A = this chain, B = another copy of it.
Amino acid sequence: MHTLWEDRYAHRTGAMQDSVIRELLKLTQLPEIISFAGGLPAPEVFPLDEFRAACETVLREKGSIALQYGATEGYTPLLEMISRHTARYGIKVTTENIMITSGSQQALDLIGKIFINRGDTLLVEAPTYLGALQAWAPYGARYLTIGMDNDGMITDQLEEKLRSGIKFIYVLPNFQNPSGVTLSMERRKHLVNISNQHGIPIIEDDPYGQLRFEGENLPSIEVIDCQMNENDGDSYSGNVIYLSTFSKILAPGLRLAWVIAPKEVIRKLVQAKQGTDLHTSTFNQMVAHEVGRGGFFDRHVLTIREVYMHRRDIMLESLQESMPDGVRWTKPQGGLFLWVTLPDHMDTKKIFLDAVKEKVAFVPGESFYPNGGGINSMRLNFSNATPQKIQEGISRLSKVIRTHM
């Protein structure tokens, strides 16, 4: 059917595509499929009682504020809560260093809007977070990729990469989506050192940092940057934009996340956000603040870690038991994902089709490589399915993989 809109699309829509993950998420809704494809939290850990009580309190005590328009920056008491949380790690942060976003996806979009000119080159890990690639595609980003191993981004490659005019470095240091690996302490320092030397700033995307099951907590890139650069003034003025979210420690259905950045960057982000969605739901911000009062998140992450660690263990055991020789996988110390690598000649896109027939799903690894690669790899999510389904799903997946060996 012809409409007058058809030949009017902007050039940038050429870079926009239906996401593989989006199409896969549709499959996860079929009850007979065991899906390791999405990035969904376990619904069993949603704090429904606390959430219900918080809705009730907010509506009873401040209903007319909660349902009204609010400030673009965010709800001040929530900004203050995030500021106190961040200050724990030794960062001098005021509410002017923080903006609330409608999920971290929006932070990525707004960062694209204020920083990326068509043709700008960004340095990203390979593999990297697919949502960032989708957010930045309409702005015409190009990518230079840096390899990863079990200690995260291989920072020895940085100097060479940074010679070619990079706008910023994008890094997911903790339990990276999609690989599950964590950037080592040594490499964190190396990354900050080199980025400072070359004058290239960093976007640190940290949705899972609080979900560490084992091993030592490592300081964020932002903290290390603060330690290396003496900052004057009382507010954060470093070279890192830090992103985190309530999606994993409370609930993704709220679409609630935050950015920490120098004041001037926040000011630009606020201008961009105002034209984009005015502000994030006042009600949701107030409910998250109400749930979080009295240290709830600190207690709640203990529950989440326990559930996810158990599921990770079940998945690792199941992989160990059933996968054929030549298949390798990462052993994440936290987060939601692990990464499976098959022998070189195998193509997980082809395996995917057979896997869905056998009622198990994953994301083919190639999706996470902006410049190609990862054909023989896949991302598995271990947070969403129950332990029993994880065992059954990995068993199904192993059988499918064996037929392709």
A-B contact pairs, 10 of them (CB 8 A): A5-B241, A10-B120, A16-B114, A46-B67, A52-B55, A52-B56, A55-B59, A68-B253, A251-B283, A255-B278
A271 to B106, CA, bound (A): 14
Judge if A190 is at the interface, Cβ distance under 8 Å.
Answer: no
A12 to B138, CA, bound (A): 13
Identify the interface centre among A70, A109, A199: most chain B CB within 10 Å of its CB. Answer: A109
Known: A10-B139, A13-B114. A1 touches B68 (CB 8 A): no
User: How many subunits of this chain does the assembly comprise?
Assistant: 2
Interchain CB contact under 8 A, A69 and B274: no
Which stretch from A175-183, A230-238, A297-305, A353-361 is at the chain B interface? A230-238
For A, the interface residue count at a CB cutoff of 8 angstroms equals 94
Residues of B within 8 A of A377 (CB): none
Interchain CB contact under 8 A, A68 and B43: yes
In A87-107, the 8 Å CB interface with B consists of 102-103, 105-106
Known: A8-B201, A43-B68. A22 touches B277 (CB 8 A): no
Residues of B within 8 A of A43 (CB): 64-65, 67-68
Judge if A370 is at the interface, Cβ distance under 8 Å.
Answer: no
- Determine how close the nearest CB of chain B comes to the CB of A231; give it in whole angstroms: 8
In A271-304, the 8 Å CB interface with B consists of 271-272, 274-284
Judge if A30 is at the interface, Cβ distance under 8 Å.
Answer: no
In A29-83, the 8 Å CB interface with B consists of 38-41, 43-44, 46, 48, 51-52, 55-56, 59-60, 63-72
Judge if A390 is at the interface, Cβ distance under 8 Å.
Answer: no
A13 to B17, CA, bound (A): 25
A114 to B67, CA, bound (A): 30
Judge if A200 is at the interface, Cβ distance under 8 Å.
Answer: yes
Interchain CB contact under 8 A, A237 and B1: yes
